[in-house]
């Protein structure tokens, strides 16, 4: 490695931006806010690109990864517990950093156009920079505790940005929901960390891997428990079953936030965490199986809900959950590099989908209902073409980015033991559903005749279209690097790719199947939403139960509300609120207050306000002290007792 890379500056720049815009932003002119907000992520991106240039450009630098920068003062030193404040740059974190700072910077640019009319302009960019700070800390962290700092921090930034329009009740509630549901996951993460400390005595990822590698006795048992705890954390952050419910509501935030935090970067933190701690999962086949099942189930489950949603952003939200399920599926079949590959391509095309949707929403004055759109292709040609690239990418058409990464995951699933075929089939069905609902969205938005002629859409400014163009290029070409080269690059961090199949051309066949179902999904969408636009309503009428079930999202929110939220609220309100708070604590406070009042009422007489009585007490006190000091009590006391004794005897 040629000299230090200063990777500690990567999080620091956005943090400086947060401080500047957060504290002074409302008093600065707008162009200065914009400059600060854009330059700080750009500086971070520059450092990341410089590191990437050195890593990719120099064969020897490649070998010297991981590259570690540690704070010389240490961080936590208590007894036998030593935790360093260290940032680690290895293949995995480098890829993730490129995605986070790259996509993050593009979305910052986009936001300049999208938020230009908003009153909270400086506040918005302050929070966005804060998010980037915590996200880079999360990615660079060399141990689980520092990762947890970033983990909580991105949760905070997510909460602040979901509730950005806090005057709206729904936005404030959505923020709270996201925060509280994530607490459940964080509980798992914390327990996992405690177990790691108790069993390994360290939280540093590399040391855990070393200790696991040294002793073959680490298999199942406590490792499974740790892995499942970490998985619980990951399901919270990455919106997997059963904790996915916060993500659809998170769409209350501004659309660029949905693109950056709730599609491209933060929600993939769970996948990143599993890839980071993959040695634990490798030592527990059971935990891996759970990861795969959670992923496959979420992918299918969310995709079915996505079929009937009418809010453009909610369709994309369920699609995000579904795609994250793919990544978990990839992790669950130990194809970590494939999962990270899909994470990367997904960041490109899903950010693009959200930004294009934002461009549509911006153009038609804030309308998000698909049923009121239509025919926007001619009015918004640029948005239309970039969005088309993203739709083709997510549906998995060759040679768009989504094809390569999705295919890599499905291929790995197919090869993964006896249950792998089932996982592969679920993934394939999900691909069909994905293609269908994405093209449904595409047709409803851009094709046909305008359903709301009173709207006068206008194409968005160039600050918004520029990022769309770059992301469209990445959505098309982002997968061309190919899973082989990508996996080979990542292998020092995530382990080697699973063995090749013995069946010739299997990868080709599976890829062909994936494209075929994507095409089938397109054809169905074409038939239902272009050729016979009345048919979807008829189908909904023909299957009322199924449609109601999907439209109401399987009543999961209602179920959670009835089983967890209501009892908990009742418990808090009646037992904790009335009995404990009002009864016990309130009673105690009244009791203490009463004692104080009573004592005060007696002692009050002392405070007569009469100067001479005070002086008399003072003199009496001084006399008492004098008496105490001057009289030789040691001699007087026995003598006087003797005297009393004598008197008493007589």
Which of 589/616 has CB closer to other proteins? Answer: 616
Sign of CA dihedral 537, 539, 544, 547: negative
Least distance to other proteins, CB of residue 596, Å: 16
Cβ partners under 8 Å of residue 93, min gap 6: 139, 140, 493
- By CB under 8 A, the count of residues binding other proteins is 10
Q: Which range in 230-238, 424-432, 470-478, 613-621 contacts other proteins by CB under 8 A?
A: 613-621
- Residues 316 and 250 sit within 8 Å (Cβ to Cβ): no
C-alpha span between 352 and 359 (Å, rounded): 10
Residue 533 CB-density burial (10 A; 0-12 exposed, 13-18 middle, 19+ buried)? middle
Binds other proteins (CB under 8 A): choice among 570, 608, 621, 640 = 608
Which of 599/615 has CB closer to other proteins? Answer: 615
Least distance to other proteins, CB of residue 589, Å: 24
Which of 595/616 has CB closer to other proteins? Answer: 616
| Parallel, antiparallel or unpaired: strands 76-78 and 67-70 | unpaired
Q: Using CB under 8 A, which residues numbered 552 to 581 contact other proteins? A: none
Nearest to 563 by CA among 114, 326, 242, 316: 242
Q: Which range in 77-85, 326-334, 569-577, 615-623 contacts other proteins by CB under 8 A?
A: 615-623
Binds other proteins (CB under 8 A): choice among 64, 170, 210, 607 = 607
Least distance to other proteins, CB of residue 602, Å: 14
Q: Is 627 in the site for other proteins (CB under 8 A)?
A: no
Give the number of other Cβ atoms within 10 Å of residue 346's Cβ: 31
C-alpha span between 413 and 427 (Å, rounded): 9
Least distance to other proteins, CB of residue 611, Å: 5
Binds other proteins (CB under 8 A): choice among 73, 597, 611, 647 = 611
My answer on whether omega of the bond before 66 falls inside 30° of 0, hence cis, is yes
Which of 552/608 has CB closer to other proteins? Answer: 608
Degrees (nearest 5) of the Cα angle 315, 321, 322?
A: 85
Least distance to other proteins, CB of residue 605, Å: 10
Binds other proteins (CB under 8 A): choice among 76, 584, 615, 636 = 615
Q: Is 625 in the site for other proteins (CB under 8 A)?
A: no
Least distance to other proteins, CB of residue 608, Å: 7
Binds other proteins (CB under 8 A): choice among 214, 545, 610, 634 = 610
Binding mask 224-263 for other proteins (x = CB under 8 A): ----------------------------------------
Rounded to whole angstroms, what are the CA distances from 108 to 128, 146, 467?
A: 8, 26, 9
Least distance to other proteins, CB of residue 610, Å: 7
Q: Is 616 in the site for other proteins (CB under 8 A)?
A: yes
Which of 117/612 has CB closer to other proteins? Answer: 612
Q: Is 609 in the site for other proteins (CB under 8 A)?
A: yes
Binds other proteins (CB under 8 A): choice among 167, 545, 604, 634 = 604
Q: Which range in 72-80, 222-230, 266-274, 612-620 contacts other proteins by CB under 8 A?
A: 612-620
Give the number of other Cβ atoms within 10 Å of residue 53's Cβ: 11
Binds other proteins (CB under 8 A): choice among 27, 117, 456, 612 = 612
C-alpha gyration radius of the chain: 32
Q: Is 624 in the site for other proteins (CB under 8 A)?
A: no
- Residues 268 and 346 sit within 8 Å (Cβ to Cβ): yes
Least distance to other proteins, CB of residue 194, Å: 57
Cβ partners under 8 Å of residue 226, min gap 6: 192, 195, 196, 199, 280
What DSSP letter does each residue of 510-562 carry, written as one string? HHHHHHHHHHHHHHHHHIIIII-TTHHHHHHHHSHHHHHHHHTGGGHHHHHII
Least distance to other proteins, CB of residue 631, Å: 17
Q: Is 597 in the site for other proteins (CB under 8 A)?
A: no
Q: Is 117 in the site for other proteins (CB under 8 A)?
A: no
C-alpha span between 294 and 273 (Å, rounded): 16
Q: Is 619 in the site for other proteins (CB under 8 A)?
A: yes
What DSSP letter does each residue of 79-142 carry, written as one string? TTEEE--EEEE-HHHHHHHHHHHHHHHHHHHHHHHHTTT-TTHHHHHHHHHHHHHHHHHHHHBS
Q: Which range in 201-209, 303-311, 469-477, 603-611 contacts other proteins by CB under 8 A?
A: 603-611
Residues forming contacts to other proteins in the complex (CB under 8 A) are: 604, 607-612, 615-616, 619
């Amino acid at each position: 490695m040629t000299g230090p890379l200063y990777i500690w500056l990567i999080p620091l720049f956005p943090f400086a931006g947060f401080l500047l815009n957060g504290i002074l932003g409302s008093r600065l002119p707008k162009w200065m806010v914009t400059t600060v907000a854009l330059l700080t992520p750009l500086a971070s991106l520059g450092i990341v690109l410089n590191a990437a240039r050195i890593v990719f450009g120099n064969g020897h630098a490649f070998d010297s990864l991981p590259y570690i920068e540690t704070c010389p003062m240490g961080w936590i030193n208590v007894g036998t517990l030593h935790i360093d404040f260290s940032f680690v740059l290895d293949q995995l974190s480098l890829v993730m950093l490129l995605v986070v700072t790259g996509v993050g910077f593009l979305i910052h640019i986009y936001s300049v156009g999208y938020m230009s009319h908003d009153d909270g302009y400086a506040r918005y960019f302050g929070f966005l920079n804060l998010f980037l700070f915590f996200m880079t800390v999360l990615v660079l962290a060399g141990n689980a505790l520092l990762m947890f700092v970033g983990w909580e921090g991105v949760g905070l930034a997510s909460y602040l940005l979901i509730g950005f329009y806090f005057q709206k009740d729904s936005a404030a509630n959505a923020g709270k929901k996201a925060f509280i549901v994530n607490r459940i996951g964080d509980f798992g993460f914390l327990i996992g960390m405690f177990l790691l400390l108790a069993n390994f005595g360290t939280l540093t990822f590399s040391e855990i891997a070393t200790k696991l590698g040294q002793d073959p006795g680490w298999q199942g048992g406590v490792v499974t428990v740790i892995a499942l705890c970490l998985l619980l954390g990951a399901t919270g952050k990455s919106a997997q079953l059963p904790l996915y419910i916060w993500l659809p509501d998170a769409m209350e935030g501004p659309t660029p936030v949905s693109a950056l935090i709730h599609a491209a970067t933060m929600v993939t933190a769970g996948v990143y965490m599993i890839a980071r701690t993959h040695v634990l999962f490798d030592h527990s086949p059971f935990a891996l199986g759970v990861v795969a099942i959670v992923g496959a189930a979420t992918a299918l489950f969310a995709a079915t809900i996505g079929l009937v949603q009418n809010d453009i952003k909610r369709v994309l939200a369920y699609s995000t959950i579904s795609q994250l399920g793919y990544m978990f599926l990839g992790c669950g079949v130990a194809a970590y590099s494939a999962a990270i590959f899909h994470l990367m391509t997904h960041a490109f095309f899903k950010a693009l989908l959200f930004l294009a949707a934002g461009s549509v929403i911006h153009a038609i004055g804030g309308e998000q209902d698909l049923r009121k759109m239509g025919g926007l292709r001619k009015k918004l040609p640029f948005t239309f073409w970039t969005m088309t690239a993203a739709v083709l990418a997510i549906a998995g058409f060759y040679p768009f980015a989504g094809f390569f990464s999705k295919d890599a995951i499905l291929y790995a699933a197919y090869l993964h033991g006896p249950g792998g075929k089932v996982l592969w089939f679920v993934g394939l069905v999900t691909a069909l559903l994905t293609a269908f609902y994405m093209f449904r969205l595409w047709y409803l938005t851009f094709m046909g005749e305008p359903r709301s002629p009173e709207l006068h859409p206008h194409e968005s400014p160039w600050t918004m279209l520029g990022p769309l163009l770059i992301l469209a290029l990445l959505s098309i070409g982002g997968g061309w690097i190919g899973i082989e080269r990508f996996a080979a690059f990542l292998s020092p961090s995530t382990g080697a790719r699973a063995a090749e199949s013995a069946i010739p051309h299997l990868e080709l066949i599976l890829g062909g199947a994936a494209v075929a179902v994507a095409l089938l999904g397109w054809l169905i969408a074409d038939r239902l939403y272009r050729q016979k636009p009345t048919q979807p309503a008829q189908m909904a009428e023909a299957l009322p139960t199924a449609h109601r079930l999907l439209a109401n999202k399987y009543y999961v929110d209602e179920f959670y509300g009835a089983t967890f939220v209501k009892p908990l609220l009742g418990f808090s309100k009646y037992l904790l609120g009335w009995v404990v708070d009002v009864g016990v604590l309130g009673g105690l406070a009244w009791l203490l207050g009463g004692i104080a009042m009573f004592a005060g009422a007696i002692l009050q007489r002392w405070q007569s306000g009469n100067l001479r009585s005070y002086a008399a007490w003072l003199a009496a006190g001084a006399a008492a002290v004098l008496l105490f000091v001057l009289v030789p009590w040691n001699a007087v006391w026995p003598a006087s007792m003797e005297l009393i004794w004598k008197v008493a005897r007589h």
